[in-house]
Structure 1
Amino acid sequence: MKKRFIGMVLSLSIILTAGVIPAKPVFATSTLTVDCGTTIRGVTHCASGSLYGITESKPGDIAQFVAPLKPNVFTNPALAGSQNQQPIGAAIQVAGRLTNTTGKVMIRLADIYPKWPYAFTNMDDWISKVTNVINQKKASGYSDFYGYEIWNEPDGTWKSTTVSFNDMWLKTYKLIRSLDSNAQIIGPSYSYYNHSRMNDFLTFCKANNCIPDVICWHELGGSKNVSGDIKDLNALESTLGIPGKKISINEYCDSDHYAEGQPGASAPFIAKFERNKVDSACISWWWTGAPGRLGSLMASDTQKGAGWWFYKWYGDMTGNMVNVTPPNDNSNGVDGFACVDSNAKYISMLLGGVNDGTINVNIKNIPSFISSTATVKVEKVDWTSKDTPVSGVNLVSSKSYTVSNGTINVSIPNANNTSGYRVYITN
């Protein structure tokens, strides 16, 4: 993604919608069901990461602003400077800043070239430049790399008339395998999921033995299509006889770009990524004048926003992720994700999204370490804008619930679409 004209796009959107008064939406009952007895996988914090969210100098204090989030993957340009797509945020230098965190760096090779769409020259030049990046990466001595993303949004940015995208992919794939054989190869990184396009790409890859280790695309129109797209890919892999591959959604955001990093918009994304066992996901970067803010989780270079606190709750999750059933998995509506830690003896659920003002949470198959009475603390973090600093979270309620047949029901009144909520259960 490279968006230099967001002001123009948003202005056009305002013009087109001016004078239109939307009807008040009608919602189904906002009830989420947490099944503590159905484990998805161990906690990975798969969706904690961002595109260009860390640079060579921002955020300034990694220990204070980054490490507590237990980040997973950040996507950064292979090279940065006046001759490259991005002026700052070079992957190798960022990897050096992350060595004492859980974070890893995905190297975006396409960012070697300047301009948008990328000013690709020819294969000899490309192979030479990629070889240089691989050698620099290996010489760095850092081990916190996620892999190489060969290209970015080829459905809109591959403009060469002398070599096809598939041929470039094959030659680059072979180069990486020859020079850095254990590294993960990531792609095709389409701007959105398209069945026909993905089918053509994977068919080519299977025939030429160049299937990516991590299949990647972007979800930039909200979370409503995430589960359906992943299910389509899984069916496609089965049809083509390709063993299921890891999935990365290395750019995700709400269709309203001002909601980047918003807790209410983020919760349904994370819920679907966890439910579908996505390997990694990165918050987008629409605000090109403000790099290094962790995908708008930071309100400024030195101030935490509401999103930071929501992702801090996410980072605090340990143990195993368990299944959560939302009212509608194929929507941007209220959704959530939960963990159970039998060693630390707690259940934590985070939730948010479009709702009707009251969110009901049904928790069933509660483990025996909770016994007959559960202490339930409900908290929230409110969001005003991506640029508004937030000093902390707020307590909604703290109550004792009688566990009946392994189940309790928690109701959250006065809920809104933009805040994030945590339901934290102990004995």
Structure 2
Amino acid sequence: MKKKFIGLTLTLTAILSTSVVFTSPAFAATTLTVDCQTTLRGVTHCASGSLYGVTESKPFDITQFVAPLKPNVFTNPALSGFNHQQPIGAAIPVAGRLKNTTGKVMIRLADIFSGWPYSFKNMNDWLSKVTNVINQKKASGYSNFYGYEIWNEPNGTFKNTSVSFNDMWRQTYKLIRSLDPNAQIIGPSYSYYNHNNMNAFLSFCKANNCLPDVICWHELGGSQYISSNIRDLKSLEKTLGIPEKKMSVNEYCDSNHYAEGQPGASAPFIAKFERNKVDAACISWWWTNAPGRLGSLMASDTQKGAGWWFYKWYGDMTGNMVNVIPQNDNSNLVDGFACVDSNSKYISVLLGGVNDGTVNVNIKNIPAFIGSTATVKVEKVDWTSKDTPVNGTTIVSSKGYTVSNGAINLSIPNTNNTSGYRVYISH
């Protein structure tokens, strides 16, 4: 249907162009507003993590490739190897590799099973397997675990007819609480956000005293749905009389999976996660032949990609996250996120997304420590593909700006959809 429409459009254009002169449409430049006075929360690097992005041996060097990103949460299989969903990446040894970083591990219990959908047998078998994992986790001595994700994408992978998903959840929840009472319990981890599914699940959990500590789902269709989904969840919590829970999106990716880890596609995701105070988010893992690449931030086991440098800028953020207002919160258009550090005396703004070539960045309520004249450095990192190594970032400009009425307005020309940008402001 789309091909027919395009063909018709081209035909009409050819006919009309014989008598009419067309000019290119004029688009208004994209504008981002950074409000340095509106603090969201302290820096958490909430979206700096990935699904199966770290394994028992990859990336090659944790100190060089992982620690500088100040990672938050990685999702890993409870067990790996023969007869399990994943051949590599078991949560407990990965937690050991990450113990000297900021990284924490979310244990995906469903990956105990092989098959897709998972080869769940019966509750006795399942609870015995979960008990074994909990005991191994406790015996490890590691403290950098985020919690237990009971199941993964139950709307498509829980097919058992002898027990419902909700009842499996209730029994598993009770077991975890009895064996590891201080651990966070995470779910339902739907493959996409759906109001009716979430309403039914949370209603059941409230009635049966088994509400998750962290409400989790996946965003794999693009960043444009995140804010509206979170608004819906918060409305549900109020309607059901449930206290606000932490939120995790432990798989996120652009609808174009080749853009996994791409700076331009990542920026609107991170911006919305930060603005909506998501607790943890993990880049997806579409490329199953390449685990341990930090969600395509690495071009290989030993080479940094463009995404790595963009997330390094994110990891360098300190102080407080402040509000950034995009032109359209419900889109994958240009969006950004920013921090203000009054101790180190700087402002950092990261941005990217679909745009028309020029991005105006309006920074207002600039703190007094910047002074009347600011040094503003604009940098970029360009992306060719997820498998292309990148050696570093590029300075676009560096110059002084007068702070007028507590504000600076600057333009970044010639931007593109795939690159990521940083605006760094200091005295």
AA at the equivalent of 2:31: T
Residue number in structure 1 paired with 2:417: 417
Residue number in structure 2 paired with 1:95: 95
In the alignment, is the contact (CA less than 8 A) between 2:32 and 2:360 conserved in 1? yes
Residue number in structure 2 paired with 1:382: 382
AA at the equivalent of 1:371: G
Deviation at 1:261, TM superposition (A): 0.1
Residue number in structure 2 paired with 1:199: 199
CA distance in 2, matches of 1:418, 1:248: 25
- Spell out the pairing of 1:221-370 with structure 2 (5 A cutoff): 221-370=221-370
AA at the equivalent of 2:98: L
AA at the equivalent of 1:189: S
CA distance in 2, matches of 1:27, 1:335: 17
Residue number in structure 1 paired with 2:149: 149
- Secondary structure at the residue paired with 1:232? helix
Residue number in structure 1 paired with 2:77: 77
Deviation at 1:82, TM superposition (A): 1.4
Deviation at 1:410, TM superposition (A): 1.1
Deviation at 1:26, TM superposition (A): 8.5
Deviation at 1:18, TM superposition (A): 10
Q: Tell me which moved more, 17-26 or 207-216.
A: 17-26
In the alignment, is the contact (CA less than 8 A) between 2:52 and 2:285 conserved in 1? yes
AA at the equivalent of 1:244: E
> What is the TM-score when the length of structure 1 is the normalising length?
0.95
- Secondary structure at the residue paired with 2:288? coil
- Secondary structure at the residue paired with 1:414? coil
Residue number in structure 2 paired with 1:190: 190
Residue number in structure 2 paired with 1:167: 167
In the alignment, is the contact (CA less than 8 A) between 1:27 and 1:355 conserved in 2? no
Q: Does 1:50 align with 2:50?
A: yes
Structure with higher Rg: it is 2
AA at the equivalent of 2:338: A
In the alignment, is the contact (CA less than 8 A) between 2:29 and 2:357 conserved in 1? no
In the alignment, is the contact (CA less than 8 A) between 2:35 and 2:323 conserved in 1? yes
Q: Deviations over 1:26-47 (max 9, x none)?
A: 9653100000000000000000
Residue number in structure 1 paired with 2:135: 135
Q: Does 1:35 align with 2:19?
A: no
Deviation at 1:219, TM superposition (A): 0.1
Q: Deviations over 1:259-301 (max 9, x none)?
A: 0000000000000000000000000000000000000000001
Q: Deviations over 1:55-81 (max 9, x none)?
A: 000001000000000000000000001
Residue number in structure 2 paired with 1:3: none
Return closer, same or farther for 1:320/1:354 CA change in 2, 3 Å cut-off.
same
Paired-residue identity, %: 81
In the alignment, is the contact (CA less than 8 A) between 1:246 and 1:278 conserved in 2? yes
Q: Deviations over 1:120-168 (max 9, x none)?
A: 0000000000000000000000000000000000000010010000000
Return closer, same or farther for 1:277/1:17 CA change in 2, 3 Å cut-off.
farther
Name stretches of at least 5 consecutive residues in structure 1 with no aligned partner. Answer: 1-14
AA at the equivalent of 1:268: P
Return closer, same or farther for 1:381/1:118 CA change in 2, 3 Å cut-off.
same
Residue number in structure 2 paired with 1:4: none
Q: Deviations over 1:304-344 (max 9, x none)?
A: 00000000000000000000000100000000000000000
- Secondary structure at the residue paired with 2:296? coil
AA at the equivalent of 1:178: S
CA distance in 2, matches of 1:291, 1:19: 40
- Secondary structure at the residue paired with 2:266? helix
In the alignment, is the contact (CA less than 8 A) between 2:306 and 2:381 conserved in 1? yes
> What is the TM-score when the length of structure 2 is the normalising length?
0.95
Moved over 4 A (4+): 15-28
AA at the equivalent of 2:328: N
CA distance in 2, matches of 1:385, 1:297: 10
CA distance in 2, matches of 1:157, 1:28: 45
Return closer, same or farther for 1:352/1:18 CA change in 2, 3 Å cut-off.
farther
The size of the alignment, in residue pairs, is 413
CA distance in 2, matches of 1:18, 1:254: 26
Residue number in structure 1 paired with 2:19: none
CA distance in 1, matches of 2:125, 2:312: 43
Deviation at 1:19, TM superposition (A): 10
CA distance in 2, matches of 1:195, 1:26: 39
- Secondary structure at the residue paired with 1:388? coil
Residue number in structure 1 paired with 2:408: 408
In the alignment, is the contact (CA less than 8 A) between 1:377 and 1:397 conserved in 2? yes
Residue number in structure 1 paired with 2:216: 216
Deviation at 1:16, TM superposition (A): 8.4
Residue number in structure 2 paired with 1:12: none
- Secondary structure at the residue paired with 1:307? helix
